[in-house]
Structure formats: C-alpha cells, structure tokens
Amino acid sequence: MKRGAAGLPPFLTDMKPSLVLIGFMGAGKTSVANRLAKLYDYSAVDLDTLIEEASGMSIEAIFAAFGEVGFRELERQQLAQLDLREGRVLSTGGGVVTQERNWPLLQRCGTVVYLRASLTTLLQRIGSGRGRPLALKGEEHLVELLESRLPKYENADIVIDTDGRTPDEVAREIMRMMEQRKR
Ligand code: S3P
C-alpha cells in the first residue's frame, strides 16, 4: 500500500475520520479503541469514563443511586456535550443504542462501528459481571437484553465480527473497512 508523509495510509493523511464503537458488554469496545489509539494515533475516549468523571461516581454507584433511567440521562448528557473532532475513537456503553434519541448524537461523532460477537464469546468475556450492574442479573437476563438490542446494533455503518480475533486484529480490520468505504 502507498504510504503518506507520516507513514500512514493515504486516507488517514487526507483527513482522519472519527469512529464510534458500539456493541454489547464484552464486545471489546474499550480494548479496540485503545488499540486504534496505539496503531493509528487516534485519541481514545470512553463514554462511561466521561460519565464517571463528570458525576464523580462509579457506574455501579450511579445505577445504585439513580437506577438505569438516571444513568441513561447522564449518558445522553455526556454524548450531547462531546465536541466534533477528527481522529477520535469513542467507545460507548453497550446500552447507548437503546435510546433512539442517541443515534443522531452517535452519528455526528463519526462512523459508527458495531463490534459483533456471539453469545458464547460475550458471556465468556463478561465473566462474573463485576462492574457492570446489568450483567449481575443472570445469564437469562443478558440473553434477553442482547436479543432486544441486536437489531439496533445492526444500524451501524460498519459491522465487524470479533469472535476469535484479538483487539489488534479487530482494529486493523476496522481500518481496512474504512479504507474500502473511501474508494
Ligand atoms: C451497559 C454497559 C456498560 C455500562 C453500563 C450499562 C449496558 O458498558 O455503560 O453498565 O447497558 O449494556 P460496557 O458495554 O462497556 O460494559
């Protein structure tokens, strides 16, 4: 592949598009965002971290104090406050897609990429569910949650299968797909 001035693929030297990673808990959004930051000099921003910083509370504490409704409100506020920027990869919480009104906000932040994984992979990665209040209600609840969200995730601009792939491989695949979209 021809390389640009900084050794980056030409489409990245033209203008660095921003990316938004969506997907269920355990899809690997944060790890892939960090990998994109390392490989392609993206600035990685995590929506849950922004919520925790703004509220001064952990995600678990927010759910305990205000419930899911309160958490979704904080999530929306942080999303709405994000400025537009080149070269940023935003990792989001798995439930951000459940609010229809969040979609325009996600899309304005960049190309929306769905990290898809099978139920088996997700359950393995979620493990005991520590730190994820909605994962503590048992496997049956997780399956229901996943099924209700699947059609929403599929609205993404790009879908990437992550089963059996490392964050590094997924990050490189995202960039390959981005390059194809430019052609
Ligand atoms: C949630 C996923 C979590 C976090 C919160 C709610 C969800 O983020 O935003 O616990 O509704 O699926 P991860 O997807 O990073 O675990």
pLDDT digits (tens, 9 = 90+) for 62-99: 999 999 999 999 999 999 999 888 899 999 999 999 99
| CATH architecture type of domain 5-182 | 3-Layer(aba) Sandwich (3.40)
Best residue among 106, 134, 144 to mutate for probing ligand 1, ranked by most atoms within 8 Å of CB:
134
Tokens of 136: 């503590």
**Cα–ligand 1 centroid distance for 75 (angstroms):** 10
| C-beta 129 within 6 A of ligand 1 | no
The pLDDT value given to residue 85: 85
- The one-letter amino acid at 38: K
Q: Where are the domains of the chain?
A: 5-182
pTM: 0.92
The pLDDT value given to residue 120: 95
| C-beta 94 within 6 A of ligand 1 | yes
The pLDDT value given to residue 10: 55
Q: What is the mean pLDDT of the chain?
A: 92
Tokens of 165: 């792939």
Backbone dihedral region for residue 61 (phi beyond 0: left; psi -120 to 50: alpha; all else: beta) = alpha
Q: Which regions in the chain score pLDDT beneath 50?
A: 1-2, 5
Pair 129, 148: CB distance under 8 Å: no
Q: What number does the ligand 1 atom closest to the CA of 48 have?
A: 9
Angstrom distance (rounded) from CA 96 to CA 24: 10
Token pair 């906000």 is found at 105
φ, ψ of residue 159 in degrees (nearest 5): -120, 130
Q: What number does the ligand 1 atom closest to the CA of 91 have?
A: 15
The pLDDT value given to residue 182: 79
**Radius of gyration of the chain from Cα atoms?**
16
Q: What percent of the chain has pLDDT over 70?
A: 92
φ, ψ of residue 134 in degrees (nearest 5): -80, -10
**Cα–ligand 1 centroid distance for 118 (angstroms):** 17
**Cα–ligand 1 centroid distance for 12 (angstroms):** 30
| C-beta 95 within 6 A of ligand 1 | yes
| C-beta 93 within 6 A of ligand 1 | yes
